[in-house]
Amino acid sequence: MERNEMLARIRAKEGFLCDMDGVIYHGNRLLDGASAFVNWLIREGKKFVFLTNSPERTPHELSMKLERMGLSVSPDHFYTSAQATAAFLATQNPGCTAYVIGEAALSKALYDKGIYMNDVNPDYVVLGETRTYGFEKLEKAIALVRGGAKLIGANPDTVGVTETGVMPATGSLIAPIEIATGKKAYFVGKPNPLMLRHGLNKLGCHSADVALVGDRMDTDIIAGIESNMDTVLLLSGVTAREDVESFPYRPNFILDGVGDIVK
């Protein structure tokens, strides 16, 4: 498929599910072409949801972050792994309790679904990205899981991208608990189809009419493939072009950055 034909096929989509880290920004730095892409989505009346594996911020906080970067996107355009985790637990075990290692946004999402904090005998130990990770919390989580609490990860990502490099993400932070307890975590974020199902519900679109845009082969792209969506891999995040060859599946399209969609 020629490049112009490829871009026309992407632009013709009714809806877009987009990652954020490595797609729209690195940390607090807006990526080249991100403003043009977001403004194009709004101008063309496209349906779009930013579907992020990061549980560190609420949709309102993500909206404010983009506002500081010069982009006006309302909170209803965001869906986070914290929200997906809370929705999953509320469906599985209404009124359950959890010991949480994570930022305030994760605890708030759980609280909003009627899941309350418990560090004595919780039903679940829930972990998401956090900068307050420490040995004391790790020791507590291990004891609770060994005592019968189920282990839940907001996402399986092992690293996250910042403006200065990479940082350990949930998959890395939860690994010591898995090793010490012999229990495997259940991860709710991408590539779990639960996340994409919520995204599609927010869009109100059929999967064939949606493009998934992301920078990770092992979360974004595989999730889109398994949900029957056209997938767009961006090389602006954690994946290099040569990395694609090491996976047994391929995205439909590979672009340098999100701005290439609307050039």
User: What's the average model confidence in pLDDT over 85-106?
Assistant: 98
User: What's the average model confidence in pLDDT over 250-255?
Assistant: 96
Are both 161 and 87 inside the same structural domain?
yes
Share of the chain above pLDDT 70, in %: 98
- Domain membership flag for residue 58: no
Q: What is the pTM of this model?
A: 0.94
User: What's the average model confidence in pLDDT over 28-37?
Assistant: 95
- Domain membership flag for residue 63: no
Beta bridge partners of 165: 162
Beta bridge partners of 187: 153
- Domain membership flag for residue 76: no
Are both 87 and 179 inside the same structural domain?
yes
19 is catalytic: yes
- Domain membership flag for residue 40: yes
Alpha-carbon span 59 to 79, nearest angstrom: 7
User: Domain span at residue 90?
Assistant: 82-187
pLDDT mean across residues, the chain: 95
pLDDT of residue 4: 87
123 is catalytic: no
Alpha helices in the chain (DSSP H): 3-11, 34-43, 59-68, 81-92, 104-112, 135-146, 170-181, 193-203, 222-226
Domain endpoint, select from 187, 215, 237 = 187
Domain endpoint, select from 125, 156, 187 = 187
Q: Of these residues, 19, 123, 157, 260, which one is catalytic? A: 19
Q: Of these residues, 21, 157, 220, 260, which one is catalytic? A: 21
User: What's the average model confidence in pLDDT over 35-44?
Assistant: 97
Are both 169 and 198 inside the same structural domain?
no
pLDDT of residue 105: 98
- Domain membership flag for residue 9: yes
Are both 154 and 171 inside the same structural domain?
yes
Task: Give 148-169 pLDDT, tens digit per residue.
Answer: 999 999 999 998 766 677 789 9
Are both 115 and 195 inside the same structural domain?
no
pLDDT of residue 164: 73
Are both 95 and 156 inside the same structural domain?
yes
- Domain membership flag for residue 77: no
Place 190 in a pLDDT band, splitting at 50, 70 and 90: very high
Residue 222 has pLDDT above 70, yes or no: yes
Are both 242 and 155 inside the same structural domain?
no
- Domain membership flag for residue 60: no
Domain of 107, CATH number, reads: 3.40.50.1000
Alpha-carbon span 247 to 232, nearest angstrom: 15
pLDDT of residue 163: 66
Task: Give 107-163 pLDDT, tens digit per residue.
Answer: 999 999 999 999 999 999 999 999 999 999 999 999 999 999 999 999 999 987 666
User: What's the average model confidence in pLDDT over 62-71?
Assistant: 96
Domain endpoint, select from 187, 220, 246 = 187
User: Into how many domains does the chain fold?
Assistant: 2
